[in-house]
Each structure stands twice: as C-alpha cells, then as structure tokens.
C-alpha cells in the first residue's frame, strides 16, 4: 500500500491552513524582492495558494485515534499506557535517527528531543495517539 502524498501549510495572506500538493516555483519565477522561491499548495480545485514556506508539513500517511491525519510538526497526546502524564509529543521527519538509522517519521517528547518514542516509528500504536495541535499554531497546554 502506498502512502498518500499530501502537505499542509499556512496561507501567506491569512495564516489559515491549506491542504494539497506542494508546488515550488523555480522556473525563473522567483520572488524578485527577496530572491527566494515561491511555495504553493494546490488543493482539489485548480487554484494554487501561496503559503509560508516555514510552515510546510508533510502527511505521515497515518491517522490518530480520532481518524485525524497526522502531519509532520503536529503535537500529539500519547496514550496513557506509554506516558501516565500524557505529555505532548512532536512528530518529526528524520533524515537520520541515530538510535537505529531509520529514515522516516518519529515521535519525540515536545521540548525534550532526548526522550524518544523511536519504537513507534513502525508500530501499530500510532493510532492510539491524538493530534492536539501543531507547533505553528498557538501553544498547547
């Protein structure tokens, strides 16, 4: 089964989330004022929406316990059997995971990258977590 390729990012004009395919305008269409590439999300319609590049998040291909799609940079509440205090975790895409050299998505305790839930990278337990926010939204308590 192939993973669905999907991205989300905040719109440049109103800071709202948009979902779809990521498009990077590189063919001589750079922003002349800043000299940077322009990033767009193309949704179900044929419209391209310019987005804030720093907020681009890739879909993991996994859903939480409520069926909500889990994206990179999402904050998740772990199930009580993993963490009695249910401290938020951060979903991050790793180019290299020094624990076992896995390349892929992993969960880390938020604001504490040394405490890893690396055993869940290929686990069935992703669907026991709950998405409670994203690092680009307001802080989660």
Residues facing 51 on adjacent strands: 11
Per-residue buried b or exposed e for 92-128, using 16+ beta carbons within 10 Å of the residue's own CB: eebeebeeeeeeebbbbbbeeeeebbbebbeeeebeb
- Model pLDDT, residue 56: 95
Angle made by CA atoms 100, 106, 95, in degrees to the nearest 5:
65
- Model pLDDT, residue 113: 45
- Model pLDDT, residue 110: 65
- Model pLDDT, residue 55: 96
Q: Tokens representing 76?
A: 């998740």
- Model pLDDT, residue 132: 92
Low-confidence ranges of the chain (pLDDT < 50): 29-30, 113-121, 140-141
pTM for this predicted structure: 0.78
- Model pLDDT, residue 125: 74
- Model pLDDT, residue 105: 76
Query: Which residue from 61, 55, 117 is spatially nearest to 86, judged by alpha carbons?
Result: 117
């Amino acid at each position: 089964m192939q993973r669905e390729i999907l991205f989300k990012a905040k719109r440049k004009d109103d800071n709202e989330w948009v979902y779809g395919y990521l498009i990077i305008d590189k063919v001589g269409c750079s922003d002349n004022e800043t000299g940077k590439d322009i990033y767009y999300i193309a949704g179900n319609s044929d419209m391209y929406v310019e987005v804030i590049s720093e907020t681009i998040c890739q879909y993991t291909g996994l859903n939480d316990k409520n069926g909500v799609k889990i994206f990179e940079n999402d904050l998740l509440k772990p199930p009580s059997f993993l963490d009695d205090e249910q401290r938020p975790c951060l979903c991050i895409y790793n180019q290299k995971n020094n624990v076992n050299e896995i390349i892929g998505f992993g969960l880390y305790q938020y604001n504490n990258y040394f405490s890893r839930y690396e055993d869940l990278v290929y686990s069935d337990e992703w669907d026991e977590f709950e998405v409670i926010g994203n690092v680009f939204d307001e802080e989660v308590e």
